[in-house]
Amino acid sequence: MADPAPLTAADLVELARARTRSTCPACEALVCPGWEAWPGSVARDALERVGTLRDASLDDPTVAEYHPAGTHAWSPDAPIAPAWFPYNRCDAWRCKACARAFLRYTEFGGYYTEERVREIDARLVVDVPAS
């Protein structure tokens, strides 16, 4: 499989606006206002990878988060800031049936790994360089 194409904030907005319908049985369980664990009821092949927010030139991207309005990682209105954690470790995916766009990353905890998913909301995408 080829390396995924690098994406920008503008690309995320375009992906989010490209969906073809408001409801879709293939991905409806993934539609949540913030980050969630990947539900066991959804087939992983329902989505196709379309690109990445990972910067190949960075060996160790920042783990700092971007929350200027006092949100936190689990906030439904937290900004989607591609240069900041966890977005800088995400790949972008879209539903094969309706083109709804999602971000996915794997959380590596002390004793577990958990795949997380978040729908891309174009209104929340911000283009802010990491400091």
Q: Is residue 4 part of a domain?
A: no
Instruction: Calculate mean pLDDT across residues 47-58.
Output: 95
Q: Is residue 129 part of a domain?
A: no
| pLDDT > 80? residue 31 | yes
Q: Is residue 32 part of a domain?
A: yes
Q: Is residue 100 part of a domain?
A: yes
Number of domains in the chain: 1
pTM of the complete model: 0.93
pLDDT single digits (tens) 55-76: 999 989 999 999 999 999 999 9
Percent of the chain at pLDDT above 70? 99
Category of 73 on φ-ψ map: left (φ > 0), alpha (ψ -120 to 50) or beta: alpha
For residue 43, the Cα-to-chain-centroid distance in whole angstroms is 17
Q: Is residue 33 part of a domain?
A: yes
Q: Is residue 42 part of a domain?
A: yes
What range does the domain containing 48 cover? 9-124
Q: Is residue 109 part of a domain?
A: yes
Q: Is residue 77 part of a domain?
A: yes
Rounded to whole angstroms, the Cα distance separating 116 from 66 reads 18
Which positions ≥6 away from 126 have C-beta within 8 Å?
A: 9, 66, 79, 80, 81
Residue 121 sits at the vertex; the CA angle it makes with 56 and 79, to the nearest 5 degrees, is 65
Instruction: Calculate mean pLDDT across residues 122-130.
Output: 96
